[in-house]
């Protein structure tokens, strides 16, 4: 089965790399580049590939918090709160964005698995989250802990990769009917994009 990245372009992909005083930065000029259109993919950026199977999806989703943890362990605190060298989002902003979207996706999956009929899944406007949620002032390690907790809850909810629930569907705002497997396959792509941004911000 082929699946396109219907949530929007996950820019970049990645492979599954003395304490300093934490520096609190102001929201970076390009923090808004974290928001991506989760319902539409420009035709010129669209790409299709073989979809991951449920077991592969679970493996990727479980690996992302661990990889972020390794990146955090190798970085001084101030590197986690400063904008990247190209003026892009700081690591704390990237991880806080992941954490907040994890709550949205978790709610989608709960409803897709629990509702009798395919639920209507609204897509929030995240374009101002970095400012409204004040990502730059957060403790980066607490933001990572929050993401880990929400990802663990999602994995617990999914359970057996052979369960019929992976074929359950929801109506994604602006895009149409999608299965649990399709939604989570794209979440894997977005994980890869955010991991790559994290590596670049720390380079």
Q: Which residue has the higher pLDDT, 121 or 37?
A: 121
**Are the CB atoms for 96 and 156 separated by under 8 Å?**
no
Q: Assess whether pLDDT exceeds 60 at residue 197.
A: yes
Is 70 exceeded by the pLDDT of residue 16?
no
Number of Cβ within 10 Å of residue 180's Cβ equals 22
Strands 169-172 and 120-121: parallel
Question: CATH topology for 2-9+27-202?
Answer: 1.20.120
Cα three-residue angle 143-27-191, rounded to 5 degrees? 45
Q: Cβ atoms within 10 A of the Cβ of 148, count? A: 18
Q: What is the pLDDT of residues 57-79, one digit of tens each?
A: 999 999 999 999 999 999 999 99
Kindly report whether the global pTM for this prediction surpasses the value 0.85.
no
More confident residue, 31 or 191: 191
């Amino acid at each position: 089965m082929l699946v396109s990245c219907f949530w929007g372009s996950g820019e970049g992909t990645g492979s599954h790399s003395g304490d300093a005083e934490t520096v609190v930065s102001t929201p970076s000029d390009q923090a808004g580049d974290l928001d991506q259109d989760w319902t539409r993919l420009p035709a010129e950026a669209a790409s299709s590939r073989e979809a991951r199977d449920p077991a592969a999806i679970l493996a990727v989703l479980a690996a992302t918090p661990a990889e972020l943890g390794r990146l955090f362990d190798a970085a001084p605190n101030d590197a986690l709160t400063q904008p990247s060298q190209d003026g892009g989002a700081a690591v704390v902003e990237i991880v806080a964005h992941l954490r907040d979207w994890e709550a949205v996706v978790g709610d989608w999956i709960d409803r897709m698995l629990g509702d009798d009929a395919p639920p209507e899944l609204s897509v929030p406007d995240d374009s101002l989250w970095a400012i409204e949620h004040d990502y730059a002032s957060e403790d980066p390690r607490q933001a990572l802990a929050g993401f880990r907790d929400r990802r663990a809850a999602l994995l617990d909810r999914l359970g057996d990769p052979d369960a019929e629930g992976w074929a359950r569907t929801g109506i994604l705002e602006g895009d149409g009917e999608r299965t649990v497997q399709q939604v989570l396959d794209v979440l894997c792509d977005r994980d890869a994009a955010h991991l790559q941004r994290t590596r670049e911000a720390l380079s």
